[in-house]
Amino acid sequence: MMTAWGLGTKVVNLEEGISFMQAGDQGGLVLNRDYAEKNLSYPARKRGRVFDSFVTYGMDSAWAIPFWELRRLWPRLRELGWIGRDADVEHSLCVLLTVHFPAYLHEYRALKSYALCRP
């Protein structure tokens, strides 16, 4: 399958609609658009890279954005080796996002605060 990073050489399905794909020494998360629309906030979706009918997040650090919001998939981070076995997943993701995507965290937290204070 062709990906945003080239011809996919490795695919790990995380659940229906989201996969990790590798193409050579690059890759990342690939979400079908419907899955992204249903499962991710607007601040997360707008930081994804659209490729064909998918939204992608590179494995350099952008993958942390959808994982921040998809807590049910946190155990897979250890399986993939992206987070160490003894690491606190929430803390590790928060540090990564604070360094690379502080504006996303700000927008996401503001969105959540607004939702909590609405009647």
d(CA 25, CA 88): 27
Q: Which domain holds residue 89?
A: 2-117
- C-alpha 77/C-alpha 84 separation (Å) is 8
pLDDT in tens, 2-20: 777 777 788 899 999 999 9
Q: For residue range 34-80, what is the model confidence (pLDDT) as tens digits?
A: 999 999 999 999 999 999 899 999 988 999 999 999 999 999 888 88
Residue 106 backbone dihedrals phi, psi, to 5 degrees: -60, -50
Count of structural domains, the chain: 1
